[in-house]
Amino acid sequence: MDITVSGEGSVLVAPDTLRLYAGVEVRRASAGEAFAAVRAAAARLGEALRQAGIAPDDLSTSELSLGPEYESYPKVSAYRAAQGLEIVVRDIGRGDHVIDTVVGVGEEARLHGVAFEVSEPGPALAEARAKAFRQAAAKAAQYAELAGRPLGRVVEVQESAGGPPRPLRGMAPQTMAAESEPSLSPGRQSLRVQVTLGYEFA
């Protein structure tokens, strides 16, 4: 292998799926009371989301915790129980309605963050891949010309793609529920592909 070059291609795509991280949290005097209360609150949340049109397959438990809180160790002041839920909203336009549904469960409701996703990234990645390949090939042709050698065949191709989007954490339930205008701004995501090509001189 005589020449190794890399290229990068990117395509901007509007996300079409929302992943919402939510849940319920309670504090009670005993561990048993806290666990029973959080399970009841989680059941209400799940039922409310199903009534809002979220399919059961788009709901998954992401957290389940129970533990003491101390006023001054070892004196326990309360027991905290929490259950998290990952919610896939396949129509971003319904995102605010789903968030309002979570908040409507009551004071136990918690919102932990959102992530926007592209459900079918294949076509955009194919376009980004073609851009990356063309960029790398152009570099190889330039290097061959500078070296005064004819460019031969590609003998190696390696690819790396951009990672998934990170969730945005720390949303306040009261802020999300109070807005009359759409409060979610999915923007556009850059789907990236990087390729490395190895060439031989002819």
Residue carrying structure tokens 């294949």: 122
Q: Report DSSP state, residue 19.
A: E
- Choose between 46 and 184: higher pLDDT: 46
Per DSSP, 34 falls in state H
Single-letter amino acid, residue 102: V
CB 2 within 8 A of CB 186: no
Question: What distance in Å separates the CA atoms of residue 197 and residue 157, rounded to the nearest whole number?
Answer: 5
Round the average pLDDT of the chain to a whole number and report it.
Answer: 91
pTM above 0.75, yes or no: yes
Q: Which pLDDT tens digit goes with each residue over 144-160?
A: 999 999 999 999 999 99
Q: What is the spatial order of strands in the sheet that 189-201 belongs to?
A: 3-13, 189-201, 151-161
Q: What is the pLDDT of residues 2-28, one digit of tens each?
A: 999 999 999 999 999 999 999 999 999
Helices (H) and strands (E) in the chain, counts: 4, 8
> Is there a contact between 19 and 92 (Cβ–Cβ < 8 Å)?
no
The per-residue pLDDT for range 39-93, each reduced to its tens digit, is 999 999 999 999 999 999 999 999 999 999 999 999 999 999 999 999 999 999 9
Measured between alpha carbons, how far is residue 167 from residues 50, 69, 111 in Å?
A: 23, 28, 12
Give me the residues paired with residue 116 across strands.
Answer: 18
Task: Give residue 171's pLDDT.
Answer: 45
- The domains found in the chain, sorted by start residue, are 1-13+120-182+189-202 (3.30.110.170), 17-117 (3.30.70.2970)
Question: What's the CA gap between 161 and 129, in Å, rounded?
Answer: 9
